[in-house]
Each structure stands twice: as C-alpha cells, then as structure tokens.
Chains A and B, each alone.
Chain A
C-alpha cells in the first residue's frame, strides 16, 4: 500500500469496515425480524400486559451498535450499524412500525454510542457496555413514548423502568458477551478490535 492510499483509508472508511457494518446490519436486521416474531408471541402469552412485552425485549434491538463499535472502533460506527439494521428491517423485510423505525434506530444508536465516545473509543469494560445499553434504551424511550402515545397512561413509569433494565441486560451486557465470543473465534482478527488488543 502506498502513502496516498494509506492516508485515504485513515480518512475514509475502509471497504472492509463498510462491508462489515452492512453485514452486521443485515444479520441483525434478520435477527431483529425474528425478535419481532418473539415479541408477538410474548405479547400474546402476557395477555393483557402484552403491550409491555416490547419493553422486556427492547434491549435486543440495541445489540448491533455496541458490537459494531467494539469491532470497528470508529466514531459513528454504532449509529450507522443501528440505522443500517433498521433499514434492512423496514425496506427489505417489512416492519409494522414503518419508516419511523429508522428515526428510532438513529436515536438508539446515539444513546448506545455515547458512553464509548466519552471514553474516546478506548475502554470496552462491562461498565461501559452496561451504560451503553442504559442510554440506548433510555434515550429512545421518550421518542417512542411520543410516537406511541404513552404519555398520560397510568403505566408510564413502569414502562420506563422495564425498558431501561432490558437495555442494560440485553443491549449492553449481552453485547459484551457476543463481542468476546466473536473475538475468540478469530473471525474479527483483521479488524481494529484485534489491533487494539495486540497493542494493549
């Protein structure tokens, strides 16, 4: 690789990173689509409390952002991955939520990415992942609450608490588990995650 190509890749995204983001978007778009089926099942099982099922599972929809950040370690990776996954859901798989899902995904991505940005994409501890899940779930809650008309309902606070807990567990800690497992398989050896680990 010559010098101009090297500087170009540091400024621009490498094709490899870009495709990885798309791959993550597609796989998680597909998994999210499966999650929607689980959500339908769970909401029927939960009977009258079925509408709360979405909060129980919400963290699952946050997964892709911290995973993308931990592997690619570039600013914006989490937001972009989350948006791509939602676009796959809306445009290719068909989501009952419609295009507003993409807006929700962008807000989730911002929330999930914030803790990593604050550590300048240098710390990948359990705590940072948990905070990522908490902020991802917490930030999007207020948008969803407006979109779905939760303001003024009796169960507003219950919704918020369940959603934040789900964010921490499914959208934060589980992401760390997946990232560590991926790193162990060796499949991400050629990405930033491995370069950082070697250097550290």
Chain B
C-alpha cells in the first residue's frame, strides 16, 4: 500500500499499466474535479472509480475498506463544517447551529471529491512499485538521470526509516531505566527522535552522494536495464479513463446537475 510495505504490488491489470500514465491520469482527474462543485457529479465518478479499482487492482475487500478510513473521516469533517458554516437557505436550526441547503450541497461536493481522489490514490499506490515509477518517469517523462537516481536512493532510505525511527526511540528509552524507569513519551521526546533522524539522514545522504558519484550514476548518455515503455494498452487505458470522465461531466451538465466554483458564493 505504501512505502512501509516493501513487498512489490501483486500482479493485476492495473499493475501492468505504465506508472507515468497512471500518475498523469490521477493528476488530470484531480485537477478537473477541483472545478466541480455539485454533489452529484463527484459521487457518480466515485462509484465508477471504485468499480474500476475493484475490477482492475485485485485488492482484498478488507484492505480496500481499511485504506478508505482516512478519506472517509476527512470527507465527514468537510461535509459537517460546510453544512454548518455556509450561509444560505436554512434547513435545520438549533440555537447557534444551523444547517443550510447550500452548505450541504458544497460540503457534499467536497466530500465526494475527497472520496474520488482517495480511491484513485489507493488504486495507484496498490498497483505501482516505487522503483518502476521512477524508472518510468526517467524514460517516459524525461526526468533527468541525476534526479532519478537521487530520488531512488531517497526511496530506499524511506523504506528503512520506520526501522531507523524505532532504533533511535529504543536508544532514547535506554536512559529511562536510570531515571525513573518509565519509557519516554510525549511531544518533547518525539521531537528529539525526529531531530536525531534528521541528523542521521543528512550524514547518510552525504555518503550516498559520494557513492552515487563514484559509480558515475547521473552521467549521460546511459543504457537501462529493463526499460519501461508506453504500450498500446496504456494508450487505450488513458483514452478510456478520460472518455468516462468527460462523458460523466457532459451528462451531468446536460441534466442540469453540474455546478462550478460559482456555487461557493451562493
């Protein structure tokens, strides 16, 4: 799911698609829905995206549900705040609290958007290997070799980071046996651990840079092991996703549901 599960993604229809194409589609859809502010359109897109991810990413229902938790919490928060703080036609009132039609509508739009981007991000992360993504960005998006290798080295560091974090915490906890016996907790302790992590990482980075340079990584031109290509299937995939998004927005507009940023000011 993330860098913390170092296992490569399971083979699936979505995992076989080009990482750069997937990232570009995720970005385009996020950009487009930023300008959609009615509750219906994002909701329809979310249902379609959920179906697409379920059909193509081979996620277990449990992991799909678990990955949804932060998005759902965020969506509920956004819906509540908008329902309560947006002036307009009052639907319900109790003392200082009031819920407006406009608030519910805009809040619903933002909540639906959160869920849509969330489920697409789940599909992307579950089906994309970090190394394959960087290689693909180097090949297909012309990301420079120096930056590519520097980020790849950083990606390895990221994978080791939870372990590094635990090591530093344990090292700090050793002192606890001498003063009081309670393991250290609280923000002060965490800030100390975070700072130690930063210092260790900067030191490690300097050594890494030397290693990269001494191996001539970053010099051009170079050949590549296992090149990543954009296939015909990738083009059909991209065209399909964009066509569905365009069709949903056009249909929503034709049926009179679609609203733009104008909805924010009533």
Contacts and interface: CB of A to CB of B under 8 A. Distances in A.
Nearest to A158: B85
Given A21-B150, A94-B1, 6 more contacts: A18-B146, A22-B153, A94-B67, A100-B117, A149-B106, A154-B87
Given A88-B158, A91-B23, A92-B130, A51 B81 contact: yes
B213 interface: yes
Interface string A87-121: 01011111111111000000000000000000000
B85 A153 contact: yes
B205 interface: yes
A88 B73 CA distance: 22
Nearest to B217: A15
The residue among B37, B114, B117 with the most chain A CB atoms within 10 A of its own CB is B117
B199 A185 contact: yes
A84 B148 CA distance: 12
A31 B196 CA distance: 12
A65 B138 CA distance: 25
B209 interface: yes
B199 A182 contact: yes
A26 to B, nearest CB: 4
A43 B73 CA distance: 10
Residue of A40, A48, A147, A152 ringed by the most chain B CB atoms within 10 A: A152
Interface SS majority for chain A: helix
Interface stretch (B27-35, B166-174, B228-236): B27-35
Contact of B84 (A26, A27, A48, A90): A48
B204 interface: yes
A152 B261 CA distance: 11
Q: Give 7 closest A-B pairs by Cβ, nearest first.
A: A23-B205, A98-B117, A19-B209, A22-B154, A51-B81, A99-B27, A16-B209
Contacts of A51: 77-78, 80-81
Interface of B: 1-3, 23, 26-27, 30-31, 34, 37, 67, 70-71, 73-74, 77-78, 80-82, 84-87, 106, 109-110, 114, 117-118, 120-122, 125, 130, 133, 146-147, 150-151, 153-155, 157-158, 161, 194-195, 197-199, 201-206, 208-210, 212-213, 218, 261, 264-266
Interface in A1-46: 13-16, 18-27, 29-31, 34, 40, 43
Nearest to A12: B146
A173 to B, nearest CB: 14
B204 A149 contact: no
B113 to A, nearest CB: 9
B120 A20 contact: no
A91 B126 CA distance: 11
B195 A181 contact: yes
B37 A152 contact: no
B205 to A, nearest CB: 4
A93 B2 contact: yes
Contact of A20 (B1, B70, B85, B205): B205
Contacts of A94: 1-2, 67, 121-122, 125
Nearest to A44: B73
A18 B209 contact: yes
B74 A98 contact: no
Interface in A149-181: 149, 151-155, 178, 181
